[in-house]
C-alpha cells in the first residue's frame, strides 16, 4: 500500500525541503518527490504545514510507562516502554540494563530477542550498562553487582545476534584485549562509570572503543594536569558522546563547550530514561531503593541522580535552547548520529529513499504532533 505525506516541511539529508512529498511503500520511503508527481494510487496524508523530521533514536532507555526493563525483562515490559517513548518521537531505542548478575543479563538478552522477533516497534537491540564498571564512579548502580569482564561474561555479552549490542564499561577495569574481542564480535563499546586516566582511555580508543556514555556524568573529570575521561572524550575527533540535555545532569555552559569541542556531528542526545517517563506515577523502586521524581529530577534517598525523567522530544527542544543550535543540528544529534554510531545509518536516522519510514512530525513550538514507525502511525 502506498501513502504520501504532503503539505509539510521535510528535513532531508540535503536540508529542509518545502514542497516535498514523502511517498511510503510498506515500511520504507519509496520516493521524495514534487507533490505533482505523487503516484495516483497513493493515499494522501496532510501534514498541515508542520515539519517532518527523522524519528528520534535513543540509545539509553532504562524504562518508561511505569516499568523498569531490568526489574522485569519481558516482551510485555518492552512493549510498554516502547509505547511510552513513542509518543515523544522515539522511533528507535536500546533497552538498557543497569548492572546486574550474569543471569539477569541472559534474561534481558532473551527478552529483547523475543521482543524483536515479535515485531515490537522501535527496538534496535540492547544496551548493557555494566556490570564491568568502577565502584569509584558507580553513580546509582549497585557496586555489589560489579565484576570483571572474563571469558564467561564475554560469551554472554556477545550472544545477542538479532539487533545491535552496546556495552558500557570502565576501560581501566578490563584488559585492552577484551575490548578488542568485543569489537571483533560486532559489539559497540562505550566508556562510562569510569575513573580512567586520559592515557588509559587512549589505549581503549586504539583497541576499538568508539563512544562515551552520558558525557561528564560518572567519569573522571577534566583537570589541568590529568585530563581524565572527559578530556580524552573531548580531545578525540572520531568518537561519539552521548549527553543528557535536561539542564540537571550537565550545565548549559558545559553542554556548549562539548559542542565546541566535538561539533554536532559527534554528539548524541540520550535520555537515560527511568519508569517515570510517560507515566503518571513519579516514584519507583530501583534495586531496593525508592527513587523520587521532582522538578524533572530522579533522585535516590541520598540525593544521587538516578537516571532521568527526560524524553527525547524534551531533549530535542532543550538542545535548541541550551546548546543554541538550529533545528537541523538538534535533529542530527537526535537521529542521524546515534544511527551512525550503531552502524545502522544505512537504514534509519534520516529521511532518504530506501530507508525506514520512521518520522516525528513537530509543530512550530517543536511539540510532537505525529509519530510514524516503519510506515505506520504509532501516535
pLDDT at 281: 83
Q: Tell me, yes or no, whether 214 and 306 share the same domain.
A: yes
* Least confident range of 33-37, 136-140, 253-257: 33-37
347 domain-assigned: no
Q: Are 16 and 351 in contact (CB under 8 A)?
A: no
- Res 295: pLDDT: 87
Confidence of residue 201 (pLDDT cuts 50, 70, 90): very high
- Whether the pLDDT of residue 1 is over 80: the answer is no
Q: Based on the domain organization, do 176 and 318 belong to the same domain? A: yes
Q: Residue 123 pLDDT > 80, yes or no?
A: yes
Active site (annotated) includes residue 311: no
pLDDT of residue 171: 98
Average pLDDT over every residue of 202-206: 98
For residue 349, being part of any structural domain is answered with no
379: pLDDT strictly greater than 90: no
Rounded Cα–Cα distance for residues 164 and 64 (Å): 20
Do 74 and 204 share a structural domain?
Answer: yes
- How do beta strands 211-212 and 188-191 pair? parallel
Residues 37 and 145 in one domain: no
Average pLDDT over residues 219-235: 98
Asked whether residue 136 is domain-assigned, the answer is yes
- Beta carbons within 8 Å of 186's beta carbon, 6+ residues apart: 158, 165
pTM flag (> 0.85): yes
- pLDDT tens per residue, range 229-278: 999 999 999 999 999 999 999 999 999 999 999 999 999 999 999 999 99
Amino acid 277: pLDDT: 96
pLDDT digits (tens, 9 = 90+) for 308-361: 999 999 999 999 999 999 999 999 999 999 999 999 999 999 999 999 999 999
**pLDDT value at residue 35:** 86
List residues bridging with 377 in a β-sheet.
372
Instruction: Say yes or no: 65 and 208 in one domain.
Output: yes
pLDDT range class, residue 282, cuts 50, 70, 90: confident
Closest CA to 219 of 209, 208, 228, 210: 228
Grid coordinates standing for 116? 524483536
* Secondary structure (3-state) at 127: strand
For residue 332, give the 3-state DSSP assignment: helix
Residue 348 lies inside a defined structural domain of this protein: no
Q: Are residues 239 and 123 in the same domain?
A: yes
Cell of residue 235, nine digits = 580531545
List the catalytic residue out of 236, 272, 309, 374.
272
Question: Same domain for 241 and 187?
Answer: yes
Give me the percent of the chain exceeding a pLDDT of 90.
94
Identify whether residues 91 and 131 lie together within a single domain. yes
Give the domain CATH number at 364: 2.30.40.10
In a shared domain, residues 86 and 204: yes
Nearest CA to 132 among 94, 166, 93, 95? 166
User: Are 79 and 40 in contact, with CB atoms under 8 Å apart?
Assistant: no
At residue 19, the pLDDT reads 83
Q: Is 18 exposed, middle or buried (0-12, 13-18, 19+ CB in 10 A)?
A: exposed
Q: What is the pLDDT of residue 319?
A: 98
Nearby residues of 301 by Cβ (< 8 Å), 6 or more positions away: 289, 290, 292
Mean pLDDT over the full length of the chain: 96
175 domain residue, yes or no? yes
* 275 and 188 housed in the same domain: yes
CA distance 177 to 207: 7
Structural domain range at position 210: 55-342
How many domains does the chain divide into?
Answer: 2
What percent of the chain shows pLDDT beyond 70? 100
Asked whether residue 162 falls in the same domain as residue 276, the answer is yes
CATH number for position 147: 3.20.20.140
Q: Is residue 150 domain-shared with residue 179, that is, in the same domain?
A: yes
Amino acid at each position: 500500500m502506498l501513502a504520501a505525506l504532503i503539505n509539510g516541511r521535510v528535513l532531508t539529508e540535503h536540508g529542509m525541503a518545502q514542497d516535498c512529498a514523502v511517498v511510503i511503500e510498506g515500511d520504507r520511503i519509496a520516493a521524495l518527490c514534487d507533490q505533482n508527481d505523487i503516484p495516483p494510487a497513493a493515499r494522501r496524508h496532510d501534514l498541515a504545514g508542520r515539519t517532518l523530521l527523522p524519528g528520534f533514536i535513543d540509545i539509553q532507555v532504562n524504562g518508561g510507562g511505569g516499568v523498569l526493563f531490568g526489574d522485569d525483562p519481558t516482551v510485555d515490559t518492552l512493549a510498554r516502554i516502547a509505547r511510552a517513548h513513542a509518543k515523544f518521537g522515539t522511533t528507535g531505542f536500546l533497552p538498557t540494563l543497569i548492572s546486574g548478575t550474569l543471569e539477569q543479563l541472559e534474561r534481558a538478552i532473551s527478552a529483547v530477542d523475543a521482543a524483536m522477533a515479535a515485531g515490537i516497534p522501535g527496538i534496535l537491540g540492547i544496551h548493557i550498562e555494566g556490570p564491568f564498571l568502577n565502584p569509584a564512579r558507580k553513580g546509582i548502580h549497585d557496586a555489589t553487582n560489579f565484576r570483571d569482564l572474563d571469558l564467561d561474561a564475554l560469551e554472554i555479552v556477545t550472544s545477542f545476534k538479532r539487533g545491535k549490542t552496546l556495552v558500557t564499561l570502565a576501560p581501566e577495569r578490563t584488559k585492552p584485549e577484551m575490548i578488542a574481542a568485543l569489537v571483533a564480535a560486532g559489539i559497540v563499546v562505550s566508556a562510562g562509570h569510569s575513573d580512567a586516566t586520559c592515557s588509559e582511555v587512549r589505549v581503549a580508543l586504539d583497541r576499538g572503543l568508539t563512544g562515551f556514555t552520558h558525557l561528564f556524568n560518572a567519569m573522571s573529570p577534566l583537570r589541568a594536569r590529568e585530563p581524565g575521561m572527559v578530556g580524552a572524550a573531548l580531545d578525540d575527533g572520531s568518537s561519539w558522546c552521548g549527553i543528557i540535555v535536561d539542564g540537571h545532569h550537565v550545565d548549559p555552559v558545559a553542554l556548549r563547550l562539548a559542542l565546541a569541542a566535538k561539533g554536532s556531528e559527534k554528539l548524541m542526545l540520550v535520555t537515560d530514561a527511568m519508569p517515570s517517563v510517560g507515566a503518571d506515577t513519579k516514584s519507583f523502586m530501583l534495586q531496593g531503593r525508592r527513587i523520587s521524581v521532582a522538578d524533572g529530577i530522579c533522585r535516590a534517598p541520598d540525593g544521587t541522580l538516578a537516571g532521568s525523567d527526560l524524553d527525547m522530544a524534551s531533549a530535542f527542544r532543550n538542545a535548541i535552547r541550551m546548546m543554541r543550535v538550529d533545528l537541523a543540528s538538534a535533529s542530527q544529534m537526535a537521529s542521524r548520529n546515534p544511527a551512525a554510531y550503531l552502524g545502522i545509518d544505512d537504514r534509519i536516522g534520516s529521511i532518504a529513499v530506501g530507508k525506514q519510514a520512521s518520522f516525528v512530525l513537530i509543530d512550530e513550538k517543536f511539540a510532537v504532533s505525529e509519530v510514524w514507525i516503519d510506515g505506520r502511525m504509532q501516535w
